[in-house]
Structure 1
Amino acid sequence: MPKISWNSYKAINAFDEYVTSENKLRSESKKISNFIGKYSTKRLLTTVKNSENAISQRGITFRVYSEDKPADHYWPLDIIPRIITKKNWSKISKGLIQRVKALNLFIDDVYNEQRIFKEKIIPKKIIFESGNFRKECLGAKPPFKVWANICGSDLVRDINGEFLVLEDNLRVPSGVSYMLENRMVMKSVFPEIFTKQKISPVDEYCSKLFSCMRSLSKNKKNPKLAILTPGVYNSAYFEHVYLAQQMGVELVEGSDLFVENDKVYMKTVGGKEQLHSLYRRIDDLYLDPKVFNKKSLIGIPGIFKAWRKGNISILNAPGSGVADDKVVYSYVPKMIKFYLNEEPLINQVETFLCHEKKQRDYVIKNISKLVVKPANESGGYGILMGPISSTKEKNDCIKKIKKNPRNYIAQPLINLSTSPTLINNQLDPRHIDLRPFILSGANNYVTQGGLTRVALKKGSMIVNSSQGGGSKDTWILDI
């Protein structure tokens, strides 16, 4: 039976994580590629089938909406892992912690002293016009001055192999359960490789999240923790259930909670039980109908006041999304210098702000070369890929920019790095990104790697699962 051949695998016009531009295996990928190279095509395809069976048996699904109808799909995992050296990851981790520290100081400053406006580092108007600015949060002081306790920053690797931050997700970042499940599946189909290679574990995430939630609670002896879900129809419901089970905490909906004397209680068969720390997986606007969206049926009336009084900690804190804005993203290097007096340890993608006339004119003139993004969308929605878009799509986008310039930014198209992926029984390069998760409470923690997402369509740069993307297990290798 023929084997999968690395000789026929060719890197395209991008930084490939397994082979050099001369199509020679990189030192960090040799051990894994040699291991896979010993598999016959039949054995490798059997391994793929085993991974699919494991995903099915474990019930690993994600939900997409088509014409407003939900449909559950099994999670797509490619069995060729993504490799990053431990030395390289150590530098990235330090850069991510630095970045999230600055972002949290920025959010705290916006809702309190507003020094960054007084020093004219960021125009006040930009922040107050953000769709995620919550004036109700002015004067609030969460524990440790940390607002975004869970951050999922999206990283890409450019043509030179440099990691860059593409965006920061500070509202309700998702995907960590898939990172953990990917590892469980890979261990089940490649058990021998995990006994022979020094692959950094990822399974401590849930215990770190549990510790983070405890550190935010006023009740230090026996705090009651819970995860708030909008319910079974949410696209990330699998993750809500998974995290609650792994941490041994309650999974609750808004109807399971109530507020009394500015304290939040959970309904139980034994009566009411006070809640001290809540990881919410619903948007700010639906959290408390007394404060935000009065029509919300999934929130808890009065919880915002209880949070303001310090009687419950909410992860992420209401208002933290003010930094989850692609316009605000462009100012993060300045934040790092302003709040930490440091140079950024990890770079980000050059960004053009359409609300500034000179930059807007440049974007409109060069729209065929750029990627245009709405400031507050997620999941790959609303993006214009200039180099591959039609004339009509570009003209429509220009109209939107002119109508609401504050809502748009543009970036040069980063030719995302590629990694070998099993396509039609052959190894083929596919573009990838990476979402590591950063926890902030009494301490900071960065996952060992993260969720690698893959654009399964040839040449595509859209990696989101909702847009047809897949995933890989990310191996931080000590070589």
Structure 2
Amino acid sequence: MTEPATVHDPSDYRPTPGYHDEVYLPDGSPRDYARPMAEELERMGPEQLAAAGRRRDAIFMQQGITFDATGEDGPVKDRPFPLDLVPRIMPGEEWTHIKRGLAQRIRALNHFVDDVYHGREIVHAGIVPWNLIVSRSHFARAVHGIRPPGGVYTHVAGCDLVRDEEGWKVLEDNVRTPSGISYVLENRVAMTRLVPSLFQSYRVRPVDHYPQLLLAALRAVAPSTDDEATVVVWTPGPLNSAYFEHAFLARQMGVELVEASDLVVRDDVLYMRTTSGLRRVHSVYRRLDDDYVDPLEFRPESLLGVPGLVRAYRAGTVAVANAFGTGVADDKAIYHYVPEMVKFYLGEEPILDNVKTYLLSDPEQLEYVLPRLDQLVIKPTSESGGKGVFIGPSTPADELEALAEVLKVEPQKWIAQEVVKLSTVPTSDLDGTVAARHVDLRPFAVFGETIKIVPGGLTRVAMREGSMIVNSSQGGGSKDTWVLEDGEDSDRAEPPDVVRQELPALPDMRYGGWSDQEQQQQQTSTERGRAHACPHRA
């Protein structure tokens, strides 16, 4: 565990030895681009920071923006959403590098998904083993041979990035149902209200056009129609931890939020039930996993799905984002091969590299990893949100011994990664003190006619001293991510004919984790007759 410096006066801040600090140099002086923020934090002092934190908590509690987490003494219910008031600042040229690397990676992943369900060229070339692909839990045989409109599968992507002393690396790819963009948008609004003085010295690129980018992408891939395409956001229901985000995006885009009971397929066409009759749906932004979307093709017991939806999708009468079967590309074992995908499909060298990863299905790599479990991070290949992860240096020896036995029996279900020395940024505590805390970054990309990436993304921060666990369910928090203007306008472009709607406060709505895989819980509730409680759409 690291021991970051904690100070009462931001001017006394010192970086954690051995880790890259994004704001301060090793001698304690601020980096040039961060100097205005450092000076403003010094001017504010811990008293003003603590007061702003109390205002934040009161506002979030009043609006129902609360969170369940696991604390040192067990589960913590309904705590205010953990937004740190010290932003993460990124120079424009650094963001340009990240943006180029992400766009390259998303194109390669999109090619891979298309290849998996069609020509399998990367398999024939001997790069990715076919038996590895078909053994992935999110490989979908039901969509073999289906090519979505425009050949786009990865409409929304949220890749997790980390920075160390060597630079930026990709930790995970999330192209199934990535969540967290609502935090990005709400964080920016909250920061402008709570600490407006921090904005005065910077020109920060906006993020509030994301819903417009998403709506434009959903319309771009919709089947042709004489009228404007009807777009919906499909949620598994209010028990899902990301339900706030589902409702948020639907309202921001000005489209309907629907559940399975609101949808029906007739003659291979998807319709939405309304008080005036059936209305055709052209494009669906779905926020539930493949397993639950259609009981005729996936889990037959699913009450969250729409019978016949895959058939309509195959007929080309409806677009679905992200495309069915896309989850095969964000499996952690497949992640190992993404740099080779970039070379194979694009003929380019990867701009962003992977964290060093070991495939435990390979006997030689397993043999290397087993005696080094206390030096590595061990992850299950099909989980998300930090579930089932073992961080070797902080895991008790008896647990590592038990893990070793599991790995010997089912090595194909696990990977190992080198421990990344996550970069640090100044972070405020409840009393306004400032300390170095470790962070990662999840930028969000939208792929319609082109790939658009919202400046910055969701910075997740390990709020506990010395911890590198940034997952919200384990006590992590978030930061507003500021990408500074440098004259480039591509991030600011907004598609035409899209009207952003203001979102009223949603009372009694709790934030859950950044993983939105609670379909099974919603399924259980639905079996009790709650799925059809949602009124028909007007």
Smaller-chain TM-score bracket:
over 0.9
Partner of residue 503, structure 2: none
Paired amino acid for 1:448: P
- Aligned counterparts, 1:191-270, within 5 A: 191-220=196-225, 221-270=227-276
Kept in 2: contact 1:371–1:413 (CA 8 A): yes
Q: Which moved more, 1:191-200 or 1:409-418?
A: 191-200
1:452 counterpart = 2:459: yes
Aligned-pair CA distance for 1:337: 0.5
| SS in structure 1 at match of 2:285 | strand
1:97-153 CA-to-partner distances (Å, cap 9, x unmatched) read: 000000000000000011111111111111011111111111010122211111110
1:334-388 CA-to-partner distances (Å, cap 9, x unmatched) read: 0000000000011110111100111000010211111011101111111111111
1:363 counterpart = 2:372: no
1:431 counterpart = 2:432: no
Partner of residue 114, structure 1: 120
Kept in 2: contact 1:142–1:313 (CA 8 A): yes
Partner of residue 150, structure 2: 144
Paired amino acid for 1:450: G
Aligned-pair CA distance for 1:443: 1.4
Partner of residue 38, structure 1: 43
Partner of residue 188, structure 1: 193
Kept in 1: contact 2:15–2:21 (CA 8 A): no
Paired amino acid for 2:30: L
Kept in 2: contact 1:15–1:417 (CA 8 A): yes
| SS in structure 1 at match of 2:278 | strand
Kept in 2: contact 1:289–1:301 (CA 8 A): yes
Kept in 2: contact 1:70–1:233 (CA 8 A): no
1:199-220 CA-to-partner distances (Å, cap 9, x unmatched) read: 0101110100010000011135
Partner of residue 170, structure 1: 175
Partner of residue 282, structure 1: 288
Kept in 2: contact 1:142–1:317 (CA 8 A): yes
1:55 counterpart = 2:60: yes
Partner of residue 516, structure 2: none
Kept in 2: contact 1:456–1:463 (CA 8 A): yes
Kept in 1: contact 2:148–2:323 (CA 8 A): yes
CA–CA distance in 1 between the matches of 2:342 and 2:13?
45
1:20 counterpart = 2:25: yes
Cα distance change, pair 57–246 in 1 and its aligned pair in 2 (3 A): farther
Cα distance change, pair 23–267 in 1 and its aligned pair in 2 (3 A): same
Partner of residue 394, structure 1: 400
CA–CA distance in 2 between the matches of 1:401 and 1:95?
33
Query: Identity over the aligned pairs, expressed in percent?
Result: 42
> What is the TM-score with the length of structure 2 in the denominator?
0.86
Kept in 1: contact 2:292–2:302 (CA 8 A): yes
1:415-459 CA-to-partner distances (Å, cap 9, x unmatched) read: 111111112431111111000011111111111000000111111
Kept in 2: contact 1:9–1:427 (CA 8 A): no
Q: Which moved more, 1:34-43 or 1:287-296?
A: 34-43
List runs of 5+ in structure 2 lacking aligned partners: 1-6, 487-538
Paired amino acid for 2:32: S
1:68-95 CA-to-partner distances (Å, cap 9, x unmatched) read: x995543110100001101110111010
CA–CA distance in 2 between the matches of 1:71 and 1:112?
47
CA–CA distance in 1 between the matches of 2:328 and 2:78?
31
Cα distance change, pair 70–48 in 1 and its aligned pair in 2 (3 A): closer
Cα distance change, pair 265–61 in 1 and its aligned pair in 2 (3 A): farther
| SS in structure 1 at match of 2:173 | strand
Match of 1:75 among 59, 72, 81: 81
Match of 2:469 among 462, 469, 472: 462
CA–CA distance in 1 between the matches of 2:391 and 2:209?
37
Tell me how many residue pairs correspond in the alignment: 475
Aligned-pair CA distance for 1:192: 3.8
Kept in 2: contact 1:355–1:405 (CA 8 A): yes
> What is the TM-score with the length of structure 1 in the denominator?
0.96
Kept in 2: contact 1:147–1:317 (CA 8 A): yes
Q: Which moved more, 1:190-199 or 1:278-287?
A: 190-199
CA–CA distance in 2 between the matches of 1:181 and 1:57?
15
Cα distance change, pair 173–115 in 1 and its aligned pair in 2 (3 A): same
Larger relative contact order (C-alpha < 8 A, sep ≥ 6)?
2
1:102 counterpart = 2:108: yes
Match of 1:135 among 141, 155, 173: 141
Q: Which moved more, 1:72-81 or 1:268-277?
A: 72-81
Kept in 2: contact 1:103–1:335 (CA 8 A): yes
Match of 2:298 among 284, 288, 292: 292
Runs of 4+ in 1 over 6 A off after TM superposition: none
Give RMSD over aligned pairs. 1.8
Cα distance change, pair 426–9 in 1 and its aligned pair in 2 (3 A): farther
Paired amino acid for 2:484: L
Paired amino acid for 1:223: A
Aligned-pair CA distance for 1:314: 0.6
CA–CA distance in 1 between the matches of 2:140 and 2:108?
19
Aligned-pair CA distance for 1:62: 4.4
Match of 2:378 among 356, 372, 380: 372
1:291-324 CA-to-partner distances (Å, cap 9, x unmatched) read: 1111111111110110111111111111000111
CA–CA distance in 2 between the matches of 1:272 and 1:74?
41
Cα distance change, pair 195–257 in 1 and its aligned pair in 2 (3 A): same
Paired amino acid for 1:211: A
Aligned-pair CA distance for 1:193: 3.7
Aligned-pair CA distance for 1:40: 3.3
Aligned-pair CA distance for 1:38: 0.7
Partner of residue 523, structure 2: none
List runs of 5+ in structure 1 lacking aligned partners: none
Kept in 2: contact 1:3–1:39 (CA 8 A): no
CA–CA distance in 2 between the matches of 1:313 and 1:116?
26
CA–CA distance in 1 between the matches of 2:51 and 2:335?
44
Match of 1:442 among 436, 439, 449: 449
CA–CA distance in 2 between the matches of 1:240 and 1:61?
16
Aligned-pair CA distance for 1:56: 3.1
| SS in structure 1 at match of 2:469 | coil
